[in-house]
Amino acid sequence: MNDPADMIDAEGLIEAMVEIVGPEWVLYDPEETRAYASDALTAYREIPRVVVLPNGEEEIVAIVNICQQRQIPIVPRGAGTGLSGGARPIREGVVLSLARMNRILALDPEAAIAILEPGVRNLAISEAAFPHGLFYAPDPSSQIACTIGGNVNENAGGVHCLKYGLTLHNVLQVRGILSSGEVFECGGQTPDSPGLDLLPLLIGSEGMLMIVTEVTVRLLPRPTHAKVVMASFDSIETCAHAVAAIISSSLIPAGLEMMDQAATRAVEDYVHAGYDCEAAAILLVESDGSKTEVDEEIAEIKEILLLNGSRSLVVSETEEERQRIWSGRKNAFPAAGRVAPEYYCMDGTVPRRQMAPLLAHIAQLEKHYRLRCMNVFHAGDGNMHPLILFDGKIMGEWARAEAFGNAILEKCIELGGTVTGEHGVGVEKLDSLCLQFTDAEREVFHALKKVFDPLRILNPDKGIPSLRRCVEHGRKRVDAQKRLPTNLEHF
């Protein structure tokens, strides 16, 4: 049999890649590239033509130049823990894995910053900062594995972003490679920088604007004390009202998370976090800061929760206990794998007062689509993560799960919310985005994309839906636009 390289490498692409990074770091045989067919949203799969693992910015520049000359799409990939298919490969394209670039280039405790390669794991930043009494605040549930490059591209949040903000609020500077092969830097170590502020545009751009090669993050002083309250509720509605009560008080908890019974039961089995599995929903409320601050805040939180219908409360007494309580929440998604063969994790946001109506609607949808759904969410900012449980081996279940998910997102928009909270659009939310934005808004997105990547080689089929797609999928409210689309450019 011929070497697979000869069959798929008519253009000498593999040879060129091997020249840049060495044979060990180029994969082209489907036996090996299949491992890169999806990120953690496994329903969308595609085996890429080549996977390349560069080690250093110069190698990335060389790779981008080769792809630019040949108009070959590039899909960047960090740890592959994403949940919207942002790293799903393109069949004719290159997957650019940044996993080898995992060095912490500098950590300056006095300036409280760290300069990182894109493949540094989120948790590794806080581990390195620990001896200096510092930490990196955004803590997505996948923080043990996900990388800072991926966090920047998805604008990752986490359970503590209510108080400390998203990735956007904790990154000072980003350096990357444009599709032209040029190095591009934005942001700076000063609070404000001259010129247009492009940093917020790049953070959350899902690999569509540039390949991130270096990230400078802000580190914060690690709070000396932290405690979490776990409160049980007999109904979802009371729990949602208690959230509203906390938010409308003067408190800003470090974390405010809600889990329904289906979710607590699934994780309790693995983590033994001590969750009240009899409660219809539980709420986790964290306070951090100095000892006095924490004690005062916890007392206040307890009072609000009890006044608002919490039937029992547990406060973490030790750091170990606190970690255990959180680990249940952080492992909630994959723990769904214990109760069903597959799950479809949704990511929508609604105004906080709309949480109870949305949950009631989801309960109805469960019956309609004949699928179970676990609910886990960042209650503090109204970011919901319904986990739809299904078995892909059963004919039609995945289609039902997908329809179920879309119905949830449509409801989110109807209630004044959005179709993504923190997981990004990727390939998953493209259709939902047609509902979220007007033609004019999407045209601005496309125009911006064109400025950064005129050849459309950087993760080209993700993030922004084309007008054609919106029409073809029947998801665009044409009547609302009062005109039929005329210019159907395929993006």
Least spacing, CB of residue 331 vs another protein, in Å? 4
Q: How far is the CB of 178 from another protein (least distance, A)?
A: 24
Interface mask (CB under 8 A) for another protein, residues 336-375, using x and -?
xxx--xxx--------------------------------
From edge to edge, which strands make up the β-sheet containing 74-77?
26-27, 50-52, 94-97, 74-77
Q: Which is nearer to another protein, 144 or 199 (CB)?
A: 144
Closer CB to another protein, residue 56 or residue 357?
A: 56
SS3 (DSSP) at 185: strand
> Mapped to the 3 state alphabet, what secondary structure does 385-441 carry?
EEEEEECCCCCCHHHHHHHHHHHHHHHHHHCCCECCCCCCCCCCCHHHHHHHCCHHH
Q: How far is CA 467 from CA 17, 403, 439, 454, 488, in A?
A: 35, 21, 8, 18, 6
Smallest gap, in angstroms, from Cβ of residue 100 to another protein? 4
Distance CA 199, CA 169 (A): 10
**Residue 40 sits in the site that holds another protein (CB under 8 A):** yes
Interface with another protein by CB under 8 A: which range of 23-31, 62-70, 412-420, 461-469?
A: 23-31
Q: How far is the CB of 145 from another protein (least distance, A)?
A: 4
Distance, CA of 61 to CA of 282 (rounded, Å): 49
Per the CB < 8 A criterion, the answer to whether 122 and 330 are in contact is no
Q: How far is the CB of 299 from another protein (least distance, A)?
A: 33
Strands 373-378 and 383-390, bridge-based pairing: antiparallel
Question: Cβ 380 to another protein, closest distance in Å?
Answer: 23
| Residue nearer to another protein on the CB measure, 80 or 424 | 80
CA distance 218 to 173: 9
Judged by beta carbon, residue 148 or residue 355, the one nearer another protein is 148
- Which of 334, 403, 410, 456 binds another protein (CB under 8 A)? It is 334
Q: Which of 97, 232, 432, 436 binds another protein (CB under 8 A)?
A: 97
Size of site (CB under 8 A) for another protein: 39
333 counts as binding another protein under rule CB under 8 A: yes
d(CA 284, CA 315): 10
164 lies in the binding site for another protein (CB under 8 A) = no
Q: Does 263 bind another protein (CB under 8 A)?
A: no
CB 384 within 8 A of CB 350: yes
- The site string for another protein over 45-64 (x = CB under 8 A, - otherwise) reads --------x-----------
Identify whether the C-beta of residue 396 lies closer than 8 Å to the C-beta of residue 435.
Answer: no
Q: Write the CB contacts of 263 (distance below 8 Å, at least 6 apart in sequence).
A: 332, 374, 375, 376, 387
> Does 123 engage in binding with another protein (CB under 8 A)?
yes
Q: Which of 436, 430, 266, 426 is nearest to 349 (CA)?
A: 436
Q: Which of 68, 142, 310, 383 binds another protein (CB under 8 A)?
A: 142
Smallest gap from Cβ 434 to another protein, in A, equals 28
Nearer to another protein among residue 178 and residue 284 (C-beta): 284
* 245 part of the interface to another protein, by CB under 8 A: no
Give the shortest CB-81-to-another protein separation in angstroms. Answer: 5
Q: Any contact of residue 130 with another protein (CB under 8 A)?
A: no
DSSP-based helix, strand, coil % in the chain, nearest 5:
40, 20, 40
Q: Which CA distances in Å does 180 have to 59, 238, 240, 352?
A: 14, 54, 49, 43
Among 5, 100, 237, 366, binds another protein (CB under 8 A): 100
Q: Taking a C-beta distance cutoff of 8 angstroms, is the pair 246, 304 a contact? A: yes
Which residues contribute to the site for another protein (CB under 8 A)?
27, 29-32, 34-36, 38-40, 42, 53, 79-81, 97, 99-100, 102, 119, 121, 123, 142, 144-145, 267, 270-271, 331, 333-338, 341-343
